[in-house]
Structures are given as C-alpha cells and as structure tokens.
C-alpha cells in the first residue's frame, strides 16, 4: 500500500515537473512581444510618438517623504507631464519588492534601478531597449550631457533614463581641527607623506583618546579612490587591452597604498572601526556633535549636510566647518575621484505605455522636473516666485531632495543656493569618473574589503593579500585575471 502510494506520488511529481518545464518553454517572451528589436532598427530619427494615458511608476528614492506627500508629488508630476501618473514607493527592501512584483506579472512603465539592478535586468531581457526613442527625443539628447548616456550604454544600447545626476565623492576635512593644528587645508601636500603628516599633527593636537584623524569604510570598500589615485588606480573593475576584466586595487601597483593604510592603522591614525563601521557611523563621527574623525571621503552633498546640520544646531563656522579636497595626486599630476553609480528609471519589457514613460523621463530632464525632484512641490515644500523663493518648514526639513538633489538637466539652475562647502566640492567634478557597471558589485566590495583588512591588520603580507584578492575575484567571476 505504502509502496503504491509512493509510486503514484512520484509519478504525479514527475508529471508536474514535466508540465512546468513545458510551460516554461512555451511562455511568451515579453521582450519579443513588445517588438524591442524591431523598434531598435526602425526607430532612427523618428519623432517620439505623442504620449498620453496612464504611466505606472515603481519608485525607490523618488517622490514624497510620506504617503500624503506622495499624493502631492503624483499630482505635481501628472500636471507637469500632462499624463495620469500612478506611483508606488515601497517603504523598504526595494529590490526584493521590485523582483516579486515583476515576476508576479505586475506591469509598470517605469521602474527605479541602481546600476547593479540595471545590469542584472538587462541580462534577464527584462528591460526595453529605448536607444532609438532617446535619439528621437530632442529633450533627452539636448538636455543631458552625452557623457551620461555613454556611462549607461551597454553593448551600444540604452535601457533606461536618468533619475538624477550622480555627483562624486571628495575628501572631506574638518577645517576647524586643521586650523587648530596649524594647517591650512589649501596647502596640504597631495601625497601619501603629505597626508600622513596632516593626520599625525591632528592626532597630536587632540586630547581625546578616542579621536582618530582618518576614517574610511573598508568593510564596504567605501571610497578608497582619492587615496588609490596616488598610484593612478581606478576604482572598481576595468578592462585591459585584451578586453579582460581586472580590479586595479588588487594589482601589484596598489601595494604601496595598502601599505600606507597599514602604517596609518599601526600608528593609530586610522580609526580601527574602519574595519566594521558603516557609512552612517563614519558620518556620525565626522558630524559636529561627535568630531571623532577629521578626514573622510564622502559625497559632495554630505560636505554641505555636515555644515547645514551644524548651522541648524546653532554651531558657528569658527567651531565647526567641513571643507573638501580632491585627494592624492596621480603620477601624472591630476586627481581621481569616484562618481556615483547611476540612479535610473528603466522601462520594463512588458510596459504598456513606453511613450508615456519617455515623456516622464523628458520631464525629469527639464528645469521644472528638476525643481520637483530636488526642491519639491511648489506650495508645499516652497513658496514664492522667481528669484524670491522661500522654503516652507516641511521643505526645509526635506533639504532639497525628493529623489534628485542634483537633477540630470545639464543647465539646471537650483531654486536655492547650495549649502556651505558644496560648490567647492562640486568644483572637483572634472576629476570624477563612473565605475564600470558589473552585476556582482557586492562580491567585488566584499573581496577587496576582506583582503584589504587582512593586509592592513598584518594578517597577511601585502604580496599574499593582493594575490589572494586577485584569485578570489577570479573564482567568484568578478574579474577575468
């Protein structure tokens, strides 16, 4: 009896599997259904079709800060585009929610993507090739720097438009502490020795035993670019002449910089919490209320935020001021900074209104769209008229960020001046470059961080550490050599 039941069960299971497999093969491919390839070939120089109807958006960072403001944001976006906009913004776990909704068959016209999601979804044929639609749009071609499009072009095709302009990270310095140590930040020698000397003086000048002049986030390989520039090494993964992927930070040339980090750690100049801290911890320690660190690498916007937060707390610039520098000089006499990975809106392959989606992307690339994405909703976040705008209390608390603190429109004019320190940090933008988009960015960061920490702590020699780093990058298919 038992045997017969088992046999029947096994047969049913096998049949179900076979049926499931057949079903899988016969499932229609939305990418094919939507005529992506045909559109790519025929789309040259054609006008963008007139967009109308509803555009359904799945957003992450873009929109209002709460449910009520989301409604206002939706209304403002509908008014600005002339479309009926429906926005969803999951409260947390965005990537997980997006995956579940897409695989569950839910249809959207625009979905928010970070660079890694972008690469992975292209590999899944889940995004529509919108290259020709972009070429046909005067707004998208004229209002956005062509370099930005180059950064998100994969095998000659573009599958998304921009949520915001990605700015870069700079070396942020506590100028008050530097002044107290007798250092003029403008005259810091941009070499490893020059910065070592600065860190040493800052440490000597502090009576706080928990104060460490330098901090970085090694557990997440958070911005080592301004320091690796000393050897001219690019962050992330790059291609060699033979088209093979490799990680410059794992090359022999990176040895002197890793040894410099080790020296900073051994001499008590680098915060030992760099091995475990997250960026949030680093920012707290750099903030006016803590001042446990004096030099970090952080986003341009954070230079301004530190100063703005201090000003909001009634702290004068004599007591606390963050300034910025572009880091160490390359062997060629320039600088290297890392630009943020793209923040995008892709059109899913099964989108029902791709024309409407393009119109929304066009709006995001305009002055009005930039106002909405940065400053916020007129009458809610700010009031007034041209040249005489004022933040409302709510608007001031949102700090000019509704998804895009720096809009993608290349000639965008902010309604309000930037916070103290931001313009100086922005001025280093010419040294910044985007990282190559790779699907397993998490693996890259984990491997570089892990071996970096081992080298800095002295658990392995620099030579062995770099060798181990390279080997593991290859084993986990992050690099080719």
Partner 1 sequence: MKGQLKRKIIRYKGIYILLIPVLVYFLVFSYYPLVLGIFKSFQKVKLLGGSQFVGFSNYKEILLDAQYQQAFWNSLIVGGGTFILQFFWGILIAVLLNETRNKVSRSLFQTVTYIPNLLSWSVVGGLWITILSPNGMVNGILKLLNNSNFSPIVFMSEEVYARTIMIFTGAWKGAGYFAALFMAAIVGIDTSLYESARIDGASRIKQIRYITLPVITPTMKVVTVLSVMGILRNFDQIFIMSNAAISDKIKNLLVLIYEQGIIQFNVGTATAAATIVLLATFIISTVVKKILKYDEIYS
> Binding residues for partner 1, per CB under 8 A?
16-17, 20-22, 24-25, 27-32, 95-96, 99, 102-103, 116, 120-121, 123-126, 210, 218-221, 268, 271-273, 275-276, 348-350, 439-440, 442, 445-447, 449-450, 453-454, 457, 475-476
CA distances from 328 to 171, 229, 232, 253, 261 (A): 9, 6, 10, 15, 13
- Between 240 and 475, name the residue whose CB sits nearer to partner 1: 475
Closest approach, Cβ 275 to partner 1, in A, equals 4
Cα-based angle 269, 271, 275 (whole degrees, multiple of 5): 130
Closest approach, Cβ 472 to partner 1, in A, equals 10
Token reading at 162:
């921009």
Residue listed under structure tokens 């030099």:
295
Token reading at 120:
């992975």
Token reading at 56:
């359904």
DSSP of 112-166, one letter per residue? EEEHHHHHHHHHTT-B---HHHHHH-HHHHHSS-HHHHHHT-BTTB--EEESS--
- Between 181 and 273, name the residue whose CB sits nearer to partner 1: 273
- Between 30 and 232, name the residue whose CB sits nearer to partner 1: 30
* E strands present in 244-403: 245-246, 295-299, 322-325, 337-339, 343-346, 382-385, 388-391
- Between 207 and 388, name the residue whose CB sits nearer to partner 1: 207
412 burial class (0-12, 13-18, 19+ CB within 10 angstroms)? buried
Closest approach, Cβ 448 to partner 1, in A, equals 8
- Between 371 and 479, name the residue whose CB sits nearer to partner 1: 479
- Between 82 and 442, name the residue whose CB sits nearer to partner 1: 442
Closest approach, Cβ 155 to partner 1, in A, equals 18
DSSP H/E element including 432: strand 432-434
CA distances from 284 to 279, 288, 299, 477 (A): 9, 8, 14, 35
How many CA atoms are closer than 13 Å to the CA of 437, on its beta-carbon side?
Answer: 21
- Between 139 and 342, name the residue whose CB sits nearer to partner 1: 342
Closest approach, Cβ 58 to partner 1, in A, equals 13
- Between 125 and 368, name the residue whose CB sits nearer to partner 1: 125
Closest approach, Cβ 138 to partner 1, in A, equals 30
Closest approach, Cβ 92 to partner 1, in A, equals 11
Closest approach, Cβ 244 to partner 1, in A, equals 21
- Between 148 and 435, name the residue whose CB sits nearer to partner 1: 435
Residues with Cβ within 8 Å of 330's Cβ and at least 6 positions away in sequence, in order, are 229, 230, 231, 232, 336
Q: How far apart are CA 77 and CA 386, in angstroms?
A: 20
Closest approach, Cβ 106 to partner 1, in A, equals 10
- Between 104 and 156, name the residue whose CB sits nearer to partner 1: 104
Nearest to 203 by CA among 174, 239, 170, 162: 174
Q: How far is CA 321 from the centre of its chain?
A: 25
Q: Which own/partner contact pairs does 462-470 have at CB distance under 8 Å and 24+ positions apart?
A: 462/255, 462/258, 462/259, 462/262, 463/252, 463/255, 465/258, 466/250, 466/251, 466/252, 466/254, 466/255, 466/258, 469/247, 469/249, 469/250, 470/246, 470/247, 470/250, 470/251
Closest approach, Cβ 307 to partner 1, in A, equals 25
Closest approach, Cβ 7 to partner 1, in A, equals 18
- Between 79 and 457, name the residue whose CB sits nearer to partner 1: 457
């Amino acid at each position: 009896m038992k045997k017969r039941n088992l046999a029947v069960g096994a047969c049913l299971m096998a049949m179900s599997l076979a049926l499931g497999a057949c079903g899988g093969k016969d499932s229609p491919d939305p990418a094919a259904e939507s005529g992506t390839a045909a559109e790519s070939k025929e789309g040259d120089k054609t006008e963008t079709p007139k967009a109308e109807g509803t555009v359904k958006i799945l957003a992450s960072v873009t929109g209002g800060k709460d449910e009520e403001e989301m409604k206002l944001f939706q209304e403002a976006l509908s008014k600005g585009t002339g479309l009926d906009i429906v926005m969803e913004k999951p409260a947390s776990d965005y990537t997980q929610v997006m995956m579940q909704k897409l695989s569950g068959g839910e249809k959207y016209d625009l979905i928010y993507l970070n660079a890694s999601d972008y690469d992975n979804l292209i590999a899944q044929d889940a995004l529509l090739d919108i290259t020709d639609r972009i070429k046909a749009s005067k707004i998208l071609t004229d209002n956005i720097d062509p370099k930005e499009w180059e950064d998100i072009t994969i095998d000659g095709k573009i599958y998304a438009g921009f949520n915001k302009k990605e700015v870069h990270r700079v070396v942020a310095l506590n100028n008050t502490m530097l002044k107290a140590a007798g250092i003029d930040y403008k005259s810091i020698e941009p070499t490893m020795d020059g910065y070592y000397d600065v860190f040493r003086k800052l440490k000597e000048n502090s009576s706080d035993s928990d104060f460490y002049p330098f901090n970085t986030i090694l557990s997440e390989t958070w911005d080592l670019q301004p320091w690796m520039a000393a050897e001219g090494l690019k962050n992330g993964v790059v291609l060699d002449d033979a088209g093979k992927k490799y990680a410059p930070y794992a090359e022999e040339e990176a040895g002197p910089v890793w040894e410099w980090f080790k020296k900073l750690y051994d001499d008590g100049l680098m915060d030992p919490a760099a091995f475990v801290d997250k960026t949030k911890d680093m920012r707290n320690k750099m903030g006016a209320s803590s001042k446990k660190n004096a030099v970090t690498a952080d986003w341009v916007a954070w230079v301004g935020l530190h100063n703005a937060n201090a000003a909001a707390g009634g702290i004068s610039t004599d007591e606390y001021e963050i300034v910025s520098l572009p880091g160490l000089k390359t062997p060629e006499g320039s600088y290297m900074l890392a630009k943020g990975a793209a923040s995008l809106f892709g059109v899913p392959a099964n989108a029902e209104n791709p024309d409407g989606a393009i119109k929304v992307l066009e709006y995001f690339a305009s002055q009005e769209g930039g106002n909405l994405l940065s400053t916020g909703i007129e009458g809610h976040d700010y009031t007034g008229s041209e040249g005489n705008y004022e933040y409302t209390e709510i608007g001031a608390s949102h700090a000019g960020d509704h998804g895009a603190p720096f809009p993608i429109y290349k000639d965008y004019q902010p309604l309000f001046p930037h916070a103290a320190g931001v313009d100086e940090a922005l001025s280093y933008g010419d040294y910044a470059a985007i990282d190559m988009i790779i699907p397993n960015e998490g693996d890259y960061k984990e491997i570089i961080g892990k071996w970096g920490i081992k080298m800095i702590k002295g658990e392995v020699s620099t030579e062995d550490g770099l060798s181990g780093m390279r080997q593991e990058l290859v084993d986990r298919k992050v690099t080719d050599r």
